[in-house]
Amino acid sequence: MSEVKIVEILAIILALAIAIIGHEIMHGRVAYMFGDDTAKLQGRLSINPLVHIDPVGTILVPALLYFSDAGFLFGWAKPVPVNMPVVIRNGGYNGAIAVALAGVTFNFTIAILATILLHILPAAHGAWGFFLQAFLTYSVVYNIVLGIFNLIPIPPLDGSQVLVYLARKRGYYDFANRYQSIGQYGMIILILIIATPLADIIFAPMMHLINFMLPK
């Protein structure tokens, strides 16, 4: 394996790890702001990646996608535990919505910062320059993909949580309960979407946004 390929793989691993682990940590940190110390007590607010690694979602799935030339990478970390009743008691449904949106807010923030740096930094030179450019590029890609994907309103994704708590806030409790019950089929629905042409409806806008953000 060439030096360039090794540097690229390291950049991919770091960018993906920050995107998926940071996403989960932010759920816990915002919940902590509303009095829920569940994640803190379990050591899940740490930036130590070892406490967040999911063997399948953080290692196996991204590796299989990369080495099978799937054309995209995806993954997830262990979900950070959140005691939503505590959050709602202290912050109301607005607090619950803030917790649900914390991960995607992190992803979009990182994507924007990486985009800015790509546009203002000079051209890459040497191994370090190539690593930095690759890391920033993949940071844009993975954070946009994770951010938009998690906004899909299908349980258990963050977008569904936002919809449920908005419904509860407006008093539509029956709708919220029925919608939340879809969660038991959520992963099946997502797999069916990703494995069919419906995936283009989700991924095409992502690619357009990524192409717009990256330097030409």
Q: Which residues are annotated as catalytic?
A: 24
Q: Which long-range contacts (CB under 8 A, 24 or more apart) does 199-208 make?
A: 202/148, 202/149, 202/152, 203/72, 203/145, 205/148, 206/144, 206/145, 206/148, 206/149
- Most distant CA pair in the chain, distance: 59
81: left (phi over 0), alpha (psi -120 to 50) or beta: beta
